[in-house]
Structure 1
Amino acid sequence: MDTKMHEQRLEASVNALFRRCPALCGFAVEHQTELFVSEVTTHPSGAAPHRELRGVIVAALAALIEECPEAGELLRERTFARVFH
């Protein structure tokens, strides 16, 4: 697979995550020794426990990386935000 296909797969996974978690507005992924979710934003504030959402996000990203290891590189140092139309 090429980078464009990996990006599309990542985008689909993140969009699915936002659909499953309506209170989730955004999250950031950092990398030091390993990837981790460093920030979670919800609306309204406090709508869902951040610890619970962080677990859902981590599980979704881990599943993506398991299916597509190249996605790990695409996740590094990125912030993902819900798109409102």
Structure 2
Amino acid sequence: MNRNRLVCSTSAVGHCGDNAACEGFFGRLKRERVAHQSYQTRDEVRADLFDYIERFHNPRMRRRVARQDLRFSAVFKPSVGMGRPGHT
């Protein structure tokens, strides 16, 4: 871990903040994809998970982030001429 400059993050028992994003992703992955499939080989699993992540999950997250950016921009749109006096 040190060679790759990774930091081990472990929280106290009962504080799952460190794992929330991963647990959410893997829970969704199991619910939406794995629970409905029957795999014969490890390579089948890898190919199916790659397909799910690259073709479905990643584009969906990009669209979600883009929508959030639009909402944020609409709320916090900078106004022209709204600065400190004497500064442009």
Q: TM-score, normalised by structure 2?
A: 0.31
**Larger strand percent:** 1
Compare relative contact order (CA 8 Å, sep 6+) and give the higher one, 1 or 2.
1
